[in-house]
Chain A
Amino acid sequence: MQARHGQSSYRDRTDEFFGIVESLRRSIAPAAANNVPYGGGGGVKREDPRSAAANQSEFSKRAGLIGLAIHQTSQKLSKLAQLAKRSSVFDDPTREIQELTVVIKQEISGLNGALLDLQAVRNSHNDERNISRDTTTHSATVVDDLKNRLMDTTKEFKDVLTLRTENMKIQEDRMKKFSKISSKESANPFVRQRPLASKPSPSQPAPLPWANDSSSSSSSQIVPRRQGEAESSPLLQQSQQQQQQQMVPLQDTYMQSRAEALHNVESTIHELGNIFTQLATMVSQQGEIAIRIDQNMEDTLANVEGAQSQLARYLNSISSNRWLMIKIFFVLIAFLMVFLFFVA
């Protein structure tokens, strides 16, 4: 579509211009009314409404109206987006945001309907008369463009709503956190502290699920706190904010430090258990080694005993063998005698 329009802007359209001048002359009042809203609403509208047909001018008039409405809606939407982004805990413009949201939604649905009507009108007109191809394409382009812009607006609207819900959730969380904690004065202990103002949401989650050694104190904290909230006087939200922001760290820190200490204790005990297990493993392994040593020693003992018995037997045999030795010596002496006989 864009390319087409790009092309058409280069074409020579003098004849069309004359046709338009004629149609203008013919229907000055409606044409004037056509051009004004059409040109004002569609900043992107490049071509003059063509054809001398009154229904075409009506089409363009409606398209112009729709474009203008879309523009207005997008303006409102940007304002809404700003409000949603800006919203903090102070003077929450919920009401305005709600109103704006409702208005924008109505406008968008209205625009949707109008656009559909426009499209139906164009179709019916196309069916009724024999209009040139360019006219149909032009009207189709216009309708499509309006539809696109409406879609963009709707998408922006949805984004803004999402942003708004996120912000509200963040606020709610912060409020919940703040309402649980006592205030902390870091700088000036003599600033008069006020108790918390009554919160808009009556339900509070159960605070402090950590196991304290004084679990009764935590449960008793819930009851008096709720009473304190109900009784306390409403305050400037500003001072409350400051105190809340200071209250958060302290109670949080206290409870967190308790939880951390418990975690530490638990992990230490766990480590100790581990160490004991390792110790047991090592000792059992070493027990096995000791058994092996014992066996080795027993083997050694047996060997040495056997060797000792052998040696004893040997000794015995040596000592008992002396007769044999004497006999051998006699034989040796005999040989010596014979040897001597040979020499001498």
Chain B
Amino acid sequence: MKITALLVLKAAPETSDPVILANASDVSHFGYFQRSSVKEFVVFVGRTVASRTPPSQRQSVQHEEYKVHAYNRNGLCAVGFMDDHYPVRSAFSLLNQVIDEYQKSFGESWKSAKEDSTQPWPYLAEALTKFQDPAEADKLLKIQRELDETKIILHKTIDSVLARGEKLDSLVEKSSDLSMASQMFYKQAKKTNSCCTIL
């Protein structure tokens, strides 16, 4: 489950091509000579998908072996290239986060962008690495995972508590036997003591 690229674009429905605002891609698993072509491919497909995503809509497109998820909010569009195993929900929540972060850090300056910006945005790069694990992006997944772990631990606890119960049961039996025996012992001793008048 990996993310190959994350793009932020400004999608204007009137103009033909969306403008790239930020771009982060992880092409390390391609051969050295394919990397630039893969980057271009990412740019091109990202532009196409963003231009075809209507505002305030989410969209997932299957392109070769990648799933391209796009989320367009008020003209600011985030596109992610993930493989098929990446859960769709995490992808979209990741895109949500990216857009929120972008708006927080860049305010409204993106609206005036007319050409592709070439400065890398560090947040995007670190987001790309951080969110290779879908649980990071999707809080629901994280919570679900933690809850499952907790449940496993609790199951183990309950098993051990049951074993403890069994041991306690055996202990209680033994202790009751012991008390019976000691009572008999006491009676016997008293009996021996009482009838020793002769001898």
A286 and B89 form a contact (CB under 8 A): no
- List residues of chain A with CB within 8 A of the CB of B100: 214
A131 to B92, CA, bound (A): 88
Q: Is the CB of A303 within 8 A of B60?
A: no
Shortest Cβ distance from A277 into chain B, in angstroms?
Answer: 11
Chain A residue, CB-CB nearest to B49: A189
Q: Which of A64-72, A80-88, A221-229, A333-341 lies on the face that meets chain B?
A: A221-229
Check B178 for interface membership: any CB of A closer than 8 A.
yes
CA distance A306 to B74 in the complex (A): 90
Is A300 in contact with chain B by the CB < 8 A criterion? yes
Given the complex of chains A and B, what is the CA–CA distance between A149 and B196 in angstroms?
122
Q: Is B120 an interface residue (CB 8 A)?
A: no
Report which A residues bind B (CB closer than 8 A): 181-186, 189-190, 192-193, 195-196, 213-214, 217, 220-221, 224-225, 228, 247, 250-251, 253-254, 257-258, 261-262, 264-265, 268-269, 271-272, 275-276, 278-279, 282-283, 285-286, 289-290, 292-293, 296-297, 299-301, 303-304, 306-308, 310-311, 313-314, 317-318, 321, 325, 328
Query: For this complex, into which size category does the number of interface residues on chain B fall?
Result: 35 or more
- Whether a CB of chain A sits under 8 angstroms from the CB of B190 is yes
* Among listed B1-9, B27-35, B125-133, B135-143, interface-contacting one: B135-143
Contact bitstring B50-93, A, C-beta under 8 A = 1, else 0: 00111111111111000010000110000000000000110011
Contact A224 B58 (CB under 8 A): no
Tell me if B114 counts as interface (CB < 8 A to partner A): no
Is A250 a contact of B59 with CB atoms below 8 Å?
yes
User: Which B residues touch A181, using CB under 8 A?
Assistant: 57
A-B contact pairs, 20 of them (CB 8 A): A183-B54, A195-B13, A224-B56, A228-B55, A250-B58, A251-B57, A254-B58, A265-B144, A268-B148, A269-B147, A278-B158, A282-B158, A283-B161, A286-B168, A297-B178, A303-B179, A304-B186, A306-B190, A314-B189, A314-B193
Residues of chain B in range 159-197 having any CB-CB distance to chain A below 8 Å? 161-162, 164-165, 168-169, 171-172, 175-176, 178-179, 181-183, 185-186, 188-190, 192-193, 196
A82→B142 CA distance, assembly (Å): 55
| Residue of B168, B182, B189 touching A290 (CB-CB under 8 A) | B168
Dominant secondary structure of chain A at its interface with chain B: helix
Is the beta-carbon distance between A292 and B165 smaller than 8 angstroms?
no
Q: Of B17-25, B105-113, B149-157, which stretch is located at the interface? A: B149-157
A289 and B49 alpha carbons, distance in the complex (Å): 68
Query: Quick check: A275 and B151 within 8 Å, CB to CB?
Result: yes
Chain B at the A interface: SS class: helix
Among B140, B141, B164, the one with the most A-chain Cβ atoms within 10 Å of its Cβ is: B140
Q: Are A261 and B140 in contact (CB under 8 A)?
A: yes
- Alpha-carbon gap, A114 to B186, bound state (A): 117
Nearest chain A residue, comparing its CB with the CB of B148? A268
- Chain B contacts for A290, CB-based, 8 A: 168
- Give the docked Cα–Cα distance between A325 and B196 (Å): 12
In the complex, are the beta carbons of B192 and A310 less than 8 A apart? Answer: yes
CA of A224 to CA of B76 in the docked complex: distance in angstroms?
12
Docked CA distance A188–B56 (Å): 21
- Which residue of A214, A264, A300 contacts B175 across the interface (Cβ within 8 Å)? A300
The residue that B182 contacts in the complex, of A251, A282, A300, with Cβ under 8 A, is A300
Contact of A257 among B45, B88, B183 (CB under 8 A): B88
